[in-house]
Structure 1
Amino acid sequence: MESKLSRPSSHGPHGPVVTLLTDFGSRDAYVGCMKGVLLSRAPSLRSIVDLTHDVPAQDTRAATFHLRHAWAWFPTGTVHVAVVDPGVGTERAILVARHEGHFFLAPDNGLLAPILEPTDAVHALDVTHYPAPSATFHGRDLFAPAAARLVEGATLEELGPGLRPGQWIGATEPGPRIEADRIAGRVEHVDRFGNLILDVPGAALGVDTGDWVVEIQGVRVDFAPTYGSAGVGALLALVDSYDRVEIAERGGDASSRLDVGRGTPVTLLRAGATRRQP
């Protein structure tokens, strides 16, 4: 994500921050239990921030989307805990990683793949340090205690052995296909307003987005600089706050109007380009 806004650079004198991202929802006490463990074991913890607990159940791709667009807005030293874990209770590893001064804890299921670089330090949590974890609640019994250790100054080496690239699950989905006059992408996320956020970075369009048009499900959508610059009820495309191309309906719900969702293919064409047949 690129932005002209400056981001925080350090956690300051008050201790690290922990962020939590899960598919637990808010009806049950699961998130509260994780927070209780963190507060009990990390006295220097500055604060706990809920990124979201409304990730669809077991949807690791949705978890990745939210985490990759949120982590950089936190102070250096923040510990990001992501528990969307269909493999809980199995032999899957738990990754503990450091990227650009931030720490990440997540299951080894591809969730961190779009965030981590091959040069980042990635370790596998040594679960033998945590006696008798529940077979169904590793968020409370493994992730939260490990995050607390990081808050209190433990090193990655103290949490578990290092891994080499190829020893943890990498990216499993291709990104957009970017050419000079056309870009083939897909809908990556539908937000609560029904806006369609694509996997296409705004930077791929160059300076003038007006040179491009978006085609989705046979519908042509022109670019506009802001939501308000389009007429009420009009479809528009713009570059959003995540530096992603977005399709929206002014005052409405683009997802419902177009009857599309995540994974729908989208084509961006530069003015004058010829539409290719699939």
Structure 2
Amino acid sequence: MAIITLTSDLGLKDYYVASLKGAILSQTPNVKIVDITHEVPSFNFSKAAFIIKNCYKDFPQGTVHIIGVSAESSIDIPHIVVFERGHYFIGADNGMFSLIFDSPPEKIIELNINQDTDRITFPAKDVFVKAACHIIRGGTLEVIGKPKAELEVRTLFSAVSENNTIRGMASYIDHYGNIITNITETLFKSFGRGRKFGIFFRNTNYEINQITSSYNSVIEGERVAMFSSTGFIEIAVNKGNASKLFGIKENDIIRIEFYD
């Protein structure tokens, strides 16, 4: 079965998501629509990129992913379709796609789809849905756009290592209050070289000095650090809310000190 996924900052309070789905079903009645999330913070395409990056590979090849976050186009920010690893991604070329992929994608198409209305405030429905349904029906990308050489590139703050310390930050906090850092497992292992360590937060009274394999590796209510499925270090509390307990917000500093 053909699949279209939806990721947006539209929320669930208003009619927008229903309108989006109705437009899809009007053109491709037999498609399966999967909501990834509609709770991305408004206009925060970096969060949308993080979410898509960590789940799209679990969908079958041929899936079309509509990303309706900060979606309006301009001369400098066109609408595009990206084809990579058998998946199609539709959104605005605002730097988001460069955060999803670790290398240049196989194909980039700049869309030239005409809207049915002069109103340009809902491109996810008026442009992205048309492109997605065209792909689902077996249409080629070249019919709806022209090749684009490269993506708009954005970069995020990377963890740095020096003087026996890795300095990173809380890059994502999920609804459990678990903290995903921007410190990769690869950096931790290569820089740490098996040494003892301490993970410190804003409040230096809190420290974690071991990496465990699961939340239940510690007693309920105890703090824990592990290598997340995202490839980054995650800080959590077993059956608790680490963000609230430690007073950590996104972009707060996380520090790992190694001891010889």
TM-score normalised to structure 2 length: 0.87
Instruction: Give the drift of 1:112.
Output: 1.3
Question: Which position in structure 2 is the counterpart of 1:220?
Answer: 207
- 2:81–2:109 CA contact under 8 A, matched in 1: yes
Amino acid at match of 2:216: G
- 1:205–1:212 CA contact under 8 A, matched in 2: no
Counterparts of 1:156 and 1:178 in 2: how far apart (Å)? 43
- 2:179–2:235 CA contact under 8 A, matched in 1: yes
Corresponding position: 1:261 with 2:249: yes
Amino acid at match of 1:88: E
SS for the counterpart of 1:143 is helix
- 2:99–2:155 CA contact under 8 A, matched in 1: no
- 2:83–2:105 CA contact under 8 A, matched in 1: no
SS for the counterpart of 1:31 is helix
- 1:21–1:83 CA contact under 8 A, matched in 2: yes
- Consecutive aligned runs of 4 or more in structure 1 exceeding 4 Å deviation: 178-182, 207-212
Instruction: Give the drift of 1:204.
Output: 3.5
Counterparts of 1:155 and 1:184 in 2: how far apart (Å)? 46
- The 3 A distance-change label for structure 1 pair 151 and 133 is farther
1:159 aligns with one of 129, 144, 147? 144
Corresponding position: 1:194 with 2:177: yes
Counterparts of 1:181 and 1:156 in 2: how far apart (Å)? 50
1:2-151 alignment, distance < 5 Å: 14=1, 16-43=2-29, 45=31, 47-85=32-70, 88=72, 90-91=74-75, 92-116=77-101, 117-128=103-114, 130-151=115-136
TM-score normalised to structure 1 length: 0.82
Counterparts of 1:37 and 1:232 in 2: how far apart (Å)? 46
RMSD (Å) for aligned C-alpha atoms: 2.4
Amino acid at match of 1:265: I
- The 3 A distance-change label for structure 1 pair 178 and 17 is farther
C-alpha deviations, 1:85-109, integer Å up to 9, x for none?
1x62644311210011100001121
- 1:134–1:141 CA contact under 8 A, matched in 2: no
- Runs (5+) with no aligned partner, structure 1: 1-13, 273-278
When structure 1 is superposed on structure 2, of 174-183 and 232-241 the one drifting more is: 174-183
When structure 1 is superposed on structure 2, of 147-156 and 216-225 the one drifting more is: 216-225
Counterparts of 1:179 and 1:148 in 2: how far apart (Å)? 50
- Runs (5+) with no aligned partner, structure 2: none
2:167 aligns with one of 184, 193, 196? 184
Instruction: Give the drift of 1:118.
Output: 2.0
Counterparts of 1:37 and 1:180 in 2: how far apart (Å)? 56
Instruction: Give the drift of 1:19.
Output: 0.5
Question: Which position in structure 2 is the counterpart of 1:172?
Answer: 155
- 1:211–1:270 CA contact under 8 A, matched in 2: yes
Counterparts of 2:78 and 2:195 in 1: how far apart (Å)? 46
- The 3 A distance-change label for structure 1 pair 262 and 138 is same
Instruction: Give the drift of 1:213.
Output: 3.2
C-alpha deviations, 1:158-202, integer Å up to 9, x for none?
22111112xx32123233335795433211111111111112233
Counterparts of 1:183 and 1:251 in 2: how far apart (Å)? 27
Amino acid at match of 1:70: C
- The 3 A distance-change label for structure 1 pair 162 and 178 is farther
SS for the counterpart of 1:37 is helix
Instruction: Give the drift of 1:260.
Output: 1.6
SS for the counterpart of 1:75 is coil
- The 3 A distance-change label for structure 1 pair 175 and 133 is farther
